[in-house]
Amino acid sequence: MVSTAAGATSSGAGLEGEEGESIWGEDDASIAETTDVELLKRAWRNEKAAPEILLFEAGLVQRAREQIQLLEETVEDFVENGTDDLIVSLYQMDLDRSLFLLRSYLRVRLQKIEKYMFHISRTDLWNRLSEQEKKFSKRCVNAMEKHLEQSVLSRLPYGYQSILKQSISSEEDDMVPEPKLDTFVFCKSKGAVGAFQLDDVGDEIVDLVSDDLYVLRYKSIKGLVEGGRIDLV
């Protein structure tokens, strides 16, 4: 999490008398990286920052759910057998934080589904949804179709009644909102990705060094995000 620290050595005056030990939390961050909370946090950030819906982290969500449930039970036990309030409240906070992450992750996805339901249900983005999300998406599409049909489309003249097209003469589905993959995102590479080509033409190359922060077009780094080689921030 911490940017590569260069000039942290202020051991001159020794105000606190700390030994040269690194207090930047860097080493700890790399250990913590492997916990499910850390993974969930990354998934949440990426999902929030990416314009399109990403692959549902089924295994991770499952594990997070189990851990949350387990801790809920533990906390209940603690309350029953009168464990110290401090300990109970600390565990409760840990629980709340994990719950927040999980809920927010699921919610961001639902927002995307609501926004792009027609697009998602007509492309292979569909395969990125969980079973429950697919159900939700289908119900959403049905409700929206019905609503548009009843309120507007049925009263329009022939040729303008499609949900997907402006008029019968449109060649493409030009009334389907699509995520803007052209948008720019902030990203941080995890390891050195190396020279990276920003577009198909290949006349623009960025050298992605570890931990550098870049603003790039989502489209060009899409593959890196999906492959987990770069994190959105």
Partner 1 sequence: MAGQSDPHLPMFTAPEVEFLAEDEIVEIIPNVRMGALHMICGDFGPFLPQIAVKVPLWLAVAMKKRGKCAIRPPGWLSVDNLTQVLEAERESPREFQALPFHYVEISRLLFDHARDDIPDIYMVRSLIEDIKGVRFHKVETGLETISGRTHAVKLKNLSAMEVNIVRPFLVRTLQAFYKHDSPQIVQPQGSLNSKRPQAADRGPRRDLRPR
Which residues within the stretch 143-162 sit at the binding site for partner 1 (CB under 8 A)? none
CB of residue 12 vs partner 1: minimum separation in angstroms?
6
CB of residue 141 vs partner 1: minimum separation in angstroms?
19
Q: Please tell me the distance from the alpha carbon of residue 94 to that of residue 8, in angstroms, as a whole number.
A: 31
Instruction: Tell whether residue 18 is a contact of partner 1 (CB under 8 A).
Output: yes
Of residues 178-197, those binding partner 1 (CB under 8 A): 180, 182-186
∠ at Cα 96 (226, 51), nearest 5°?
25
Of residues 102-141, those binding partner 1 (CB under 8 A): 104, 108, 111-112, 115
Tokens representing 19 are 């030994």
Q: Give the residue, chosen from 39, 61, 91, 128, that forms a contact with partner 1 under the rule CB under 8 A.
A: 91
Q: Give the residue, chosen from 12, 17, 82, 157, that forms a contact with partner 1 under the rule CB under 8 A.
A: 12
Instruction: Tell whether residue 8 is a contact of partner 1 (CB under 8 A).
Output: yes
Q: Give the residue, chosen from 145, 173, 206, 231, that forms a contact with partner 1 under the rule CB under 8 A.
A: 206
Instruction: Tell whether residue 81 is a contact of partner 1 (CB under 8 A).
Output: no
Q: Please tell me the distance from the alpha carbon of residue 211 to that of residue 229, in angstroms, as a whole number.
A: 11
E strand spans, the chain: 184-189, 194-197, 205-208, 213-217, 230-232
Instruction: Tell whether residue 93 is a contact of partner 1 (CB under 8 A).
Output: yes
Q: Give the residue, chosen from 198, 222, 226, 231, that forms a contact with partner 1 under the rule CB under 8 A.
A: 198
Closest CA to 147 of 117, 187, 188, 103: 117
Q: Which amino acid is located at 199 in the chain?
A: D
Q: Which amino acid is located at 25 in the chain?
A: G
Residue 103 CA: distances (Å) to CA of 25, 79, 99, 116, 134: 27, 25, 6, 20, 17
Instruction: Tell whether residue 33 is a contact of partner 1 (CB under 8 A).
Output: no
* Greatest pairwise CA separation for the chain in angstroms: 83
Residue 150 vs 183, nearer CB to partner 1: 183
